[in-house]
Structure 1
């Protein structure tokens, strides 16, 4: 388990989540073209409450980034949304007209990605890139937008902002480039920030600074954040809620505190068990056998079954996501069955968690 004693405690008030800012239900994505495959992402549902931070986690190949790109309308031509909805302030992002989605993306929904150098235009000064967003979305004049761009650069911690606004992306360090991306993402009254591995390309020290900046901005601006990551340490420090994905399925939805203390799906338990923090020096690190199956090779029933130490014959049957406690969901028929049996005998949920 991760030692979170020194980490910033996630907020526990559920008032912020009473009204979901983003409500994703049944999202499914298929591979199209010559190598058609169904269910790259299948029946994915989760919510992001106002002013809350939600982590979307799992190993590489589990569908996290595909999910985020679908919400932003940035899927490649080789993939398409085949079902579901994603309501953001009454607008379904999955079926919105391109013009409507363009107004939302870069406006009330901002995005930052793991490699800022590939997201920034190398031919434009960074101040002009931020100002362009305000001119397009808010209708500001060139002069006014430029002043706001400089203010935003200062807000994200870039010293001597007026001078840096005249720099090209290649003249800035990786950490400063990511700060420019954050400034651009929040430039137009952002309400929801989608961050896809925003610290992966940065060294550890800069990672901590960027995460601290995001936390400060979230508190100061009242942002909701959907953080795509595989780093459970980042989740412990930054997020309120967690959505665990495996092979295109959501296998657990929970609060961060509850998921770390009592993981409800064997995959979540295995991920937490493989984290090195808090272990003795030279101690053998637990691993999850095998690897995430590629699309087209998903097993029947539970997709985690071949790697699960708790698998039984019933795991070969189709699994559905069930709410086992208020606000806590799992896609594990074995856990759901055990809970029903315990409740029938007057047992507690903690007993079932100990068995998993």
Structure 2
């Protein structure tokens, strides 16, 4: 167990989470031995390519796993309360009240038949028992808080009447409407231009400062990670392959997969310079290779990588009170390869 999981300040502690896929396409250890923690007022990023298990991990925290996928090992704790395998009735009382969620596509998450005011107020009426008038008044205050002008009028608007940036702000207002301890943000800045993206991140940062809410950010955008998060959890094919404070990760990525991800970022490159790409693709569930799951795409792979599945090895300590760094690579752990600058 990492030192960080033992910290009483952690709002969310995920330890050894393992998910199996049952049915005709059964796949054991679809998500395997995932461990990380999010402290009060902190922001932790889950990063990796599509299909690496980021969203599945977040859905396990919420108790919203798709049919056929079930937790078979590990622990997910909100404070000192275990969430795995809780009755749906109990989880429904936690979602929205203690855990807020911001989805990446507000137009597919907001109800087109309800005004945004009613959608924000609904959570307070359900979880806090407020009357309709009181809840709508609080909804107007929340729209003000997230920076929507003329909130009293926008309260009566339907989602399609708002811009993409305003829709995302409504999603944030709904997510924080009951003052949750944790917000899970799944690609909250997708499809937003850079100006609106900066405003959304600034809004989330203000919420952290003002209320101490913890944020679990699921994203592909390394720029957002660098700007917003303190710690990073890198996932590949259901495994955590690297855990690190964000400054350490960008200064010296350790796992070959993380290094390859950082090399593929176009920022700072001369115009018309070809981008680095990672050959191949993330293996499908049920088709994971023997040994290291990244081995077929890794430039450092040797025969031993096919014979042994690596476990996470602790590296040097983190900085500024962060958790110690860790990586899931046989050769890095053995000191056989030295990964210095990420780019």
TM-score normalized by the length of structure 2: 0.92
Q: Which residue of 1 aligns with 2:107?
A: 117
Q: Which residue of 2 aligns with 1:321?
A: 312
Shift of 1:216: 1.8
Tell me the SS of whatever aligns to 2:340.
helix
CA–CA distance in structure 2, aligned partners of residues 290 and 352 of structure 1:
24
Q: Comparing 243-252 with 320-329, which one deviates more in the overlay?
A: 320-329
Deviations 1:92-132 (A, max 9, x none): 12122212211111012100110011111111111111111
Q: Which residue of 1 aligns with 2:320?
A: none
CA–CA distance in structure 2, aligned partners of residues 311 and 240 of structure 1:
30
CA–CA distance in structure 1, aligned partners of residues 191 and 273 of structure 2:
28
Shift of 1:217: 1.6
Q: 1:255 to 1:115 in 2, by over 3 A?
A: same
Q: Of the candidates 272, 277, 281, which is equivalent to residue 271 of structure 2?
A: 281
CA–CA distance in structure 1, aligned partners of residues 203 and 39 of structure 2:
20
1:352 pairs with 2:302: no
Q: Of the candidates 252, 258, 262, which is equivalent to residue 242 of structure 2?
A: 252
Q: 1:180-329 counterparts in 2 under 5 A?
A: 180-316=170-306, 317-326=308-317, 327-329=324-326
1:143 pairs with 2:143: no
CA–CA distance in structure 1, aligned partners of residues 341 and 191 of structure 2:
38
Number of residue pairs aligned between Structure 1 and Structure 2:
330
1:41 pairs with 2:27: no
What residue ranges of structure 1 are gaps of 5+ in the alignment?
1-13, 340-350
CA–CA distance in structure 2, aligned partners of residues 33 and 204 of structure 1:
42
Q: Which residue of 2 aligns with 1:334?
A: 331
Q: Comparing 77-86 with 183-192, which one deviates more in the overlay?
A: 77-86
Tell me the SS of whatever aligns to 2:334.
helix
CA–CA distance in structure 2, aligned partners of residues 60 and 68 of structure 1:
14
CA RMSD of aligned residues (A): 1.7
Shift of 1:18: 6.4
TM-score normalized by the length of structure 1: 0.89
CA–CA distance in structure 2, aligned partners of residues 180 and 156 of structure 1:
8
CA–CA distance in structure 1, aligned partners of residues 23 and 207 of structure 2:
41
Tell me the SS of whatever aligns to 1:354.
coil
> Contact 2:251/2:341 (CA < 8 Å) preserved in 1?
no
CA–CA distance in structure 1, aligned partners of residues 32 and 137 of structure 2:
45
> Contact 2:254/2:340 (CA < 8 Å) preserved in 1?
no
Deviations 1:64-112 (A, max 9, x none): 0111111111111132222211011221121222122111110121001
Q: 1:27-176 counterparts in 2 under 5 A?
A: 27-176=17-166
Tell me the SS of whatever aligns to 1:295.
coil
